[in-house]
Structure 1
Amino acid sequence: MIRDSDVLSTLTATVRRFVRERLLPAEARVEDDNAIPAELVAEMRALGLFGMSIPEAYGGLGLTMEEEVMVAFELGYASPAFRSVIGTNNGIGSQGIIVDGTEAQKQYWLPLMASGAVIGSFALTEPDVGSDAGSVRTAAVRDGDHYVLNGTKRYITNAPVADVFTVMARTGGPGPGGISAFVVPRDSIGLSLGPVDKKMGQRGTRTCDVIFDNCRVPAVAVIGGVEGKGFKTAMKVLNRGRLHIAAVCTGAAERLCDESVSFARTRVQFGKPIGEHQLIQAMLADSATEAFAGRAMVVETARRFDAGERIVQHAASAKLFCSEMVGRVADRAVQIHGGAGYMQAYPVEHFYRDVRLFRLYEGTSQIQQIIIARELLNG
């Protein structure tokens, strides 16, 4: 649902210009420094990018899902690290509060997240808990008007720079029904961070362990004020997040297509540009077709989401296809570039590493397949 096409066109044009004029020239610097320049983060705040999905009533842009994916296509054109800086505030860092939080929780945290004054993070994964999210072991024990949290979360995106965490912890018995969601500020006593992870790709995106050692949080920190609803909250959040990631994958695929076409036009072998060789043309055609298919899937699913339809299967399908698709497009891009594609002087090298993560987080490809099959069989 696009509410005002002119306003959306202006927004996407502004983001497109920002991506090309400010973010693309900074990609090599981010690779070298493993950090997003502070001035670019400030510009993202000024553009309102930290609050794209946060309702206008709480200071955000309040974009519909279709509007959000249109912006995500543009952001995905640059290194994924840039999108990740704002990604948790728009997705898993804020959406739990938006969908299930109390009004007091919304009034306090959402304006701060929308402005970028605080960065939110989502702490679900644990050393022994990944795809099996219902087996969370981090414990939250009631102690008067507080809860005491103990446990470790792993690979938490933006944890090193986060100001607040949405934490999934077990307050009851085994299984998903015993999990509750908490809003835990970074400065809570008993909360500490592990060393920053050294990753294969997505340099500039910081992740690390989040450790709770008798961390006391007030009872009002339970999202929605009710125990046992944390797993359901997480699942609600992941549906929208998966569609957003699918859009980012599509934007990255389109960037890789453009890089491949540009190289194919100028690289000469056997007396002519390699783009005139049919086997190169075949790879270009396959990549462009798959990127187009990804865009169509994402837009269609976003429209269904805005219409209030159940999109569990469609979101999983979009995430599965687009994350796998961008990996194939990246592989072809390196192949088209030949030896140059293996060199850090060309952006396809780091994109090849960066996009691999999309098949793992927000639900692995195998988890998406299980979800799709379950929806088909139970439909």
Structure 2
Amino acid sequence: MIEQVRQLAGHLARPTAAARDRHREWDETLFKALTVPGTFGGGLSAVQTCALLTAVGEGSQDPGLALAVATHAVLVTVPLRAFGTAAQLERYLPPIAAGEWLGGLSLLQTAGGAAAVTVKAAADDWLLSGSLDLVALGPKAHHFLVIAEHSTGSRTAFLIDADTPGLRVEESTPAALRSCPWGRVVLDDCRVPATAVLGGVGTAAAELEPLLAALDWVFVSAAWLGILRALASDSLSVLSTREVFGAPVGHSQSARFALADLAIQNELVAGLISQVAAGLDASLPTVYEDAAAARLFTASAVRAVTEAAAELAGPAAADEGLLVDRAYRDARFFVSSGGGSEVLRPVIAASMLKD
């Protein structure tokens, strides 16, 4: 299945990746073709899901599309599977599996920190107010995973439909990952029933948020591993075709060393992601800290590989139609997301100090 997904993404998505990025186009048919036919359905292990996301990234050569797939199939849907009630699972999972309903999420919510949405009780319902930026799939989403803070400081997660009164979605246009639809979700005394609560009331900080962070750190990194592999393949082609002062770049020892470094970085990232994904499958108690370490290393590798690939490509790297240019631009977003080193390093240090 993994090779089939890689080939499908290469056949369907890669030829239009540059144009969709340039024009900020969302191709719903393409997205469904990569996600609906049982590819990211229930029953897959974390190791298998990571491998599939890597295949999407490598085949499509489209970081924005790969992020959209990871957001919908993993970041929103896995918490639903983990904490959803029987009624929620019955309502949401069938149309999600059919590709009819997409889930949106603010990537700012995957790193903890201050809550941007507050919640208070209103009889048997809840009232939510605030706004969420950097909502992946925002303009196309049927529902959103929203984490809100009570006056006591505790937090509760909600699954809220886009057509709920008091909720509106505004389109936004970040500079990076242009082929993923982005939005801003504004909640103005948005009233939701108790049935919208995902997990327990006031338990999100201890239960859902650590899972969400680990999912982001591991599975979005897996999608970027595919991009890194595609960059390494492109760099190999550069060594055999590009010339400097009449000689192939591949004759340069420094260029060969750079290519070797790309390969080493990619293999290390692959090993870490596979190891942490196996830990998720085994429910290891250290998986949260391990996921943070994997994300921190992957971010460093993404920065190093995209810079090296751009240097190998030379003047051609300034062409927005090439993967190396798009990946170099989007890498900055990835490195700063997931909380960045300011969140990841303390998590790793706390696990070492047994805090």
TM-score range, shorter chain: over 0.9
Tell me, yes or no, if the aligned pair for 2:70 and 2:219 is still in contact at 8 Å.
Answer: no
- Segment drifting more, 66-75 vs 300-309: 300-309
Change in 2 beyond 3 A, CA 1:138/1:345: closer
2:239 corresponds in structure 1 to 264
- Please list every run of at least 4 consecutive aligned residues from structure 1 whose deviation after the TM superposition is greater than 6 angstroms: none
- Tell whether the 8 Å contact from 1:172 to 1:179 is kept in structure 2 after alignment: no
3-state DSSP of counterpart to 1:231: coil
Mapping of residues 88-99 of structure 1, within 5 Å: 88-99=71-82
Match of 2:220 in 1: 245
Distance 1:294 1:246 in 2: 9
Give the deviation of 1:123 after TM superposition: 4.1
Does structure 2 conserve the Cα–Cα contact (< 8 Å) formed by 1:168 and 1:230?
Answer: yes
Deviations 1:304-345 (A, max 9, x none): 222221212211111111122012111111111111111224
Structure 1 segment 191-340 matched on structure 2, within 5 A: 191-194=167-170, 196-224=171-199, 226-232=200-206, 233-310=208-285, 311-340=287-316
Q: Which residue is 2:120 aligned to?
A: 141
2:105 corresponds to 1:122? yes
SS at match of 2:172: coil
Give identity over the alignment, percent: 25
Structure 1's 335 and 123: CA in aligned 2 closer, same or farther, altered over 3 A? closer
Q: Compared with structure 1, are the counterparts of its residues 156 and 43 closer, same or farther at alpha carbon in structure 2 (3 Å cutoff)? A: same
Give 3-state SS (helix, strand or coil) of 2:173's partner.
coil
Q: Answer yes or no: is 1:36 the counterpart of 2:26.
A: yes
Check conservation: 2:26, 2:181, Cα contact below 8 A. no
TM-score normalized with structure 2 length: 0.93
1:22 to 4, 12, 29: 12
Listed one character per residue, the Cα deviations across residues 337-371 of structure 1 (whole Å, up to 9, x for unaligned) are 11111122422111111122211222313311111
Q: Could you list the per-position Cα deviations for residues 176-221 of structure 1 after superposition, in whole angstroms to 9, with x for gaps in the alignment?
A: xx11111110000010122x22222211112221101121111111
Q: Which runs of 5+ in 2 are unaligned?
A: none
Q: Distance in 1 between matches of 2:274 and 2:246?
A: 42
Q: CA RMSD for the aligned pairs?
A: 1.8
Contact between 2:67 and 2:223, CA under 8 Å: does it hold in 1? no
The CA deviation string for residues 66-114 of structure 1, in whole angstroms up to 9 with x for no partner, is: 1111112211212111122322222221222222221211221122222
Residues 255-280 of structure 1 show CA distances to partners (whole Å, capped at 9, x for unaligned) of 11111110110012233210111111
Question: So what's the TM-score if we normalise by structure 1?
Answer: 0.88
User: Per-residue deviation at 1:243?
Assistant: 0.9
Kindly indicate whether the alpha-carbon contact (under 8 Å) linking 1:88 and 1:119 is maintained by their aligned counterparts in 2.
Answer: no
Contact 2:210–2:288 (8 Å) recurs in 1: no
Within 1, Cα distance between the matches of 2:291 and 2:353? 17
CA deviation vs aligned residue, 1:143-166 (integer Å, no higher than 9, x gap): 122111111111111111111011
Q: Aligned with 2:105: secondary structure? A: strand
Q: 1:61 to 1:368 in 2, by over 3 A?
A: same
Match of 1:63 among 22, 44, 53: 44
Distance 1:46 1:65 in 2: 18
- Pick which of 138-147 and 368-377 moved more: 138-147
Aligned partner of 1:109 in structure 2 is 92
1:47, distance to aligned residue in structure 2 (A): 2.8
1:153 alignment counterpart: 132
Where relative contact order (Cα < 8 A, 6+ residues apart) is larger, the structure is 2
* C-alpha distance in 1 between matches for 2:262 and 2:162: 42
Which of 344-353 and 284-293 deviates more? 344-353
Query: Structure 1 regions of 5+ residues with no counterpart?
Result: 1-10, 53-59
Partner Cα separation in structure 2 for residue 305 and residue 20 of structure 1: 29
Distance change in 2, residues 1:30/1:137 (3 Å): closer
Q: How many residues matched? A: 351
